[in-house]
Amino acid sequence: MTCREAIQEVFENEDGVLMTNQVIDRISARYPDEPWKESTIRAHLTGLSVNHQSSRYYPSVRKYAFLFSLGNGRYRRWDPGRDGTWVVTDTGVQLADESEDMAALAEERELEPTAIGVSLSVERDLERTLTTNLEQLESGLRLYMESGVTGQQLDTGAIGRLDILAIDRYDNCVVIELKAGTADDRVCGQILRYMGWVKRELAGGAKVRGMIVASDFSDSLKYAVEAMPEVVLKRYEVHFEFSDV
């Protein structure tokens, strides 16, 4: 019995979500004499998750991947129909169709695919920065959290993964869509779909509004937002400072 096989056994008849500590406890109870450390089990959970960005560092384990990471140490069985197919690329782990879109976009803009990958990296960095302090966007804004589910990369199923879902000071829902560089009016349909899903599935009667965060905005997007008073634009700026070492 290997650590990987023990984890597979734990999830064999499990249809729900398990926390990392739950997996560790179940393995310890079933195999008290095995020498696997908690860190070993955690590493295997990472490697066995098709969408975990760090799974690419465990290629010998990732080839057996059957889990889907929900973030914050939560895992469930991977459902390809619901979760999509995930692949390892030069810039990380991403949905296969996103990888194809990245290549197509690179060709359209006459750029190397890695240049598009840089944009994806900027979005991830921006996401990490904001989720640690959402009040940078608006006073009183906080990350959505309910029953162990957080608003960072919230899985909406067929609609896709919502960048950030926040709650404002009045307990209303705020859907935040992040874009590296200049955002154009194509983002309108995307954020409206997420807002509609949140209104139907999570809001419970609370108001739902949206924010589009980017470094700049096309004129077409600015005109579109004029007709969507529930959506606002927020510009981010990147500053570099240099000092002698």
**Backbone φ and ψ of 168, nearest 5°:** -90, -175
Confidence (pTM): 0.53
Residue 41: the pLDDT is 93
DSSP per-residue letters across 78-117 = --HHHH--EEEETTEEEEHHHHHHHHHHHHHTT--HHHHH
- Backbone Cα Rg of the chain: 20
Written as one letter, the residue type at 104 is A
**Proportion of the chain above pLDDT 70, given as a percent:** 85
- Round to whole Å and give the CA distance between 148 and 32: 28
Residues 6+ apart with CB under 8 A from 86: 50, 51, 93, 94, 95, 96
**Using 50, 70 and 90 to split pLDDT, how confident is the model at 133?**
confident
**Can you tell me the mean pLDDT for 219-225?**
95
Please say whether the beta carbons of 177 and 163 come within 8 A: yes
**Using 50, 70 and 90 to split pLDDT, how confident is the model at 123?**
low
Count of alpha carbons within 13 angstroms of residue 39, beta-carbon side = 0
User: Per residue in 175-216, pLDDT tens?
Assistant: 999 887 888 998 999 999 999 999 998 999 999 999 999 989
Residue 75: the pLDDT is 93
